[in-house]
Copies of this chain bind each other. A is one copy, B any other.
Amino acid sequence: MSAEQYQVEPPEEGNKNVRHNRFVVKETLEYLAHLRQRVKDIEGFWLHTLINHSQIAAVTTSKEDEHALSYLQDIELVQDANDFRPFELKFHFKENPYFSNTVLSKKYTLPKGTEAAPADGTITDELRDFEGVEDLEASTVKIAWKSDDKNLTKKHPRVVQGGHDHKEGEECDHEDDGGYEGDLGSFFLFFETAEDPLQIGEALISDILPDAFAYFENRGDNSQGAEFGLDSEDDEGDDDELDEESGDEEGSIDLEDEEDDLPSKKKRKLAKGKNGQ
């Protein structure tokens, strides 16, 4: 049976996906407008929110990365619901020992030759065909490091293809980092390079920002908590356990998904409540 023979259904499927993406962007912008003002005085809110995501945890491997991210005060998302594709992430930092920038801004733009969405909301083939961050061009950001000693990307460079660069006795658990061979290096390489082997940009825009408070509480769909089986139902009264994950001082990261059966994964898909309110 040829699939092409029965191509009766698109572009309705593509239209549906565009409407869904627009809805999610609109909701995410409203959610962040509501959330950001409420969490801006919570010490370490964005550090914990970020490193509770398994992919961010995998690249935030040094204590210095975590320390530098503890100065992150706000993440601002600039995005347009009508043309939901390009976006900008503005990371606002407090005065800190590492760099003098107050904002690190990472932009994802449409490649040259790609038309912007019509302002009247018309759905074009280019909107229907959009595949996500992988279709965009990522900017690089110059970080004004205060000294070589504080230059985290120089101290923790990315070492590709088995070129492990660990000191003797240092813990090494990079073999499972999503198929990436080598040392992923500092989180701040996300800003300085366009390359994004662990798809941090995708994790931020698709997972973390639409559901930041859930990640802060370690119950996001791709949070470390979820991997360790701390589903929302199990969380009630389990704050101590959650805290151990969030405030983990060992910095050891285990990317193994311990719940690898299909039904358990499904359970986390629905937009759902029971958040202990």
Contacts and interface: CB of A to CB of B under 8 A. Distances in A.
A172 B134 CA distance: 40
Given A14-B277, A263-B198, A6 B39 contact: yes
Nearest to A262: B178
A195 interface: no
A217 B270 CA distance: 23
A245 to B, nearest CB: 11
Contacts of A203: 266
Contacts of A202: 263, 266-267
Contacts of A48: 1
A113 interface: no
A206 B6 CA distance: 23
A4 B236 CA distance: 10
A201 B2 CA distance: 28
A178 B27 CA distance: 34
A35 interface: yes
B8 A38 contact: yes
Contact of A261 (B9, B178, B232): B178
A3 B239 contact: yes
A276 interface: yes
B12 A272 contact: no
Given A6-B42, A266-B206, A14 B131 contact: no
A242 interface: yes
13 contacts: A3-B216, A4-B276, A13-B31, A13-B213, A14-B273, A19-B27, A20-B27, A131-B270, A132-B267, A178-B261, A197-B263, A206-B269, A222-B266
Given A3-B218, A128-B273, A178-B264, 9 more contacts: A6-B45, A10-B275, A10-B276, A12-B34, A21-B271, A54-B262, A131-B232, A131-B270, A179-B264
